[in-house]
C-alpha cells in the first residue's frame, strides 16, 4: 500500500475515546503506523508527527479554522467526520486539509489516506470525490495569499531557499505551500505535476500574471497569446 517503509507518525484528535480506540485498532494492522499522540483538543502548534487525524466537530464546535491554522504551519491534516455536507467538505479542503475521510468509509480508506498524506500524495475518498464532482464552483482552486506569493516568487526563478528567506519562513514551509497548491489542483481534476504545469494553471486562472513573473526574471517573458501553453512549458523548470 505505501511506497515507503519509513514509519508514519500519527496524531488522533477526537472528543470521543471510543472513536480514538477505533482508529487505533484500524491502523494497528499496519506496523509502520505509529500512534504518537491522542487528544481531544487541537494543539496550537505543529506537532512532531507526520499526519494529524482530526474530527471536524470537537465538543460541539467545528474546527475548520483550526485546520487552517495547522495547515499554515505545515501540518498535514486528515479531516475525519460523520458530517459529509458538500459545503463543509469543500470548506475543509479549502482550509488546507490534505484529505477528507468520512467516518462511514472505514479502515481501508483511512489507512490508504494516512500513507498518501504522509507521502504528500493526493488521495480522494469516494465521499470527497462525490462532493468535488458535484462542485459547481469555478474549477480554479482557492489559494491563500501566502501560497500565491510563494508560487509567484518560485515562478520568478527563485530557489525555494530564496523564497523562504524573503518570506521569513523555512524552506520546508515553502515546499509545503507549493505541494498544497499542487494538491488543490489535483482535487479539482487539473493535475499540475511539474513546475511548468503549475505556471500554466496559475496564469490560466489569473493567480499570477506574465508581467508579475517578468518582474523577477532575468529575461523577459514572452507575451501570452494563442500558443502560450507551448511557450510556458518551455520555461526553465527548477
pLDDT tens-digit map of 201-235: 888 788 888 778 777 654 433 333 333 333 334 43
Query: For 230, which DSSP code?
Result: H
Cβ atoms of 117 and 78 closer than 8 Å: yes
Instruction: List, in sequence order, every beta strand (DSSP E) within 27-131.
Output: 33-39, 51-55, 57-58, 61-62, 77-81, 99-102
> Helices (DSSP H) in 122-170: which residue ranges?
126-134, 145-155, 160-167
pLDDT of residue 237: 36
Q: What is the pTM of this model?
A: 0.64
Give me the pLDDT at residue 219, please: 40
Angstrom distance (rounded) from CA 215 to CA 173: 24
pLDDT at residue 102, rounded to an integer: 94
**Per-residue b/e over 173-189, b at no fewer than 16 CB within 10 Å?**
bbbbbbbbbbbbbbbbe
**Under a CB-based contact definition with an 8 Å cutoff, are residues 53 and 75 in contact?**
no
Residues of the chain with pLDDT under 50: 2, 218-238
Q: Tell me, what's the pLDDT at 137? A: 62
The C-alpha cell at 18 is 471510543
pLDDT at residue 231 in the model: 36
Fill in the DSSP letter of residue 104: G
What's the start-to-end Cα distance of the chain, in Å?
30
- CATH number corresponding to 8-134: 3.40.50.2300
Q: Where are the domains of the chain?
A: 8-134, 145-216
Amino acid at each position: 500500500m505505501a511506497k515507503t517503509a519509513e514509519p508514519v507518525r500519527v496524531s488522533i484528535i477526537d472528543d470521543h475515546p471510543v472513536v480514538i480506540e477505533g482508529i487505533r485498532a484500524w491502523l494497528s494492522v499496519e506496523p509502520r503506523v505509529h500512534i504518537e499522540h491522542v487528544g481531544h483538543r487541537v494543539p496550537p502548534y505543529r506537532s512532531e508527527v507526520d499526519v494529524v487525524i482530526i474530527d471536524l466537530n470537537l465538543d460541539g464546535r467545528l474546527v475548520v479554522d483550526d485546520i487552517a491554522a495547522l495547515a499554515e504551519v505545515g501540518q498535514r491534516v486528515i479531516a475525519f467526520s460523520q458530517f459529509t455536507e458538500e459545503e463543509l467538505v469543500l470548506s475543509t479542503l479549502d482550509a488546507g486539509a490534505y484529505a477528507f475521510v468520512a467516518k462511514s468509509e472505514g479502515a481501508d480508506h483511512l489507512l490508504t489516506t494516512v500513507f498518501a498524506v504522509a507521502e504528500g500524495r493526493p488521495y480522494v475518498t469516494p465521499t470527497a470525490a462525490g462532493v468535488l464532482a458535484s462542485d459547481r464552483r469555478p474549477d480554479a482552486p482557492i489559494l491563500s495569499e501566502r501560497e500565491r506569493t510563494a508560487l509567484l516568487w518560485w515562478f520568478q526563478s527563485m530557489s525555494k531557499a530564496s523564497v523562504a528567506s524573503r518570506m521569513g519562513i523555512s524552506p520546508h514551509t515553502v515546499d509545503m505551500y507549493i505541494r498544497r497548491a499542487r494538491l488543490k489542483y489535483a482535487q479539482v481534476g487539473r493535475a499540475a505535476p511539474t513546475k511548468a504545469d503549475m505556471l500554466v494553471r496559475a496564469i490560466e486562472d489569473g493567480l499570477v500574471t506574465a508581467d508579475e513573473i517578468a518582474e523577477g526574471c532575468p529575461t523577459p517573458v514572452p507575451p501570452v497569446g494563442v500558443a502560450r501553453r507551448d511557450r510556458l512549458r518551455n520555461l526553465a523548470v527548477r
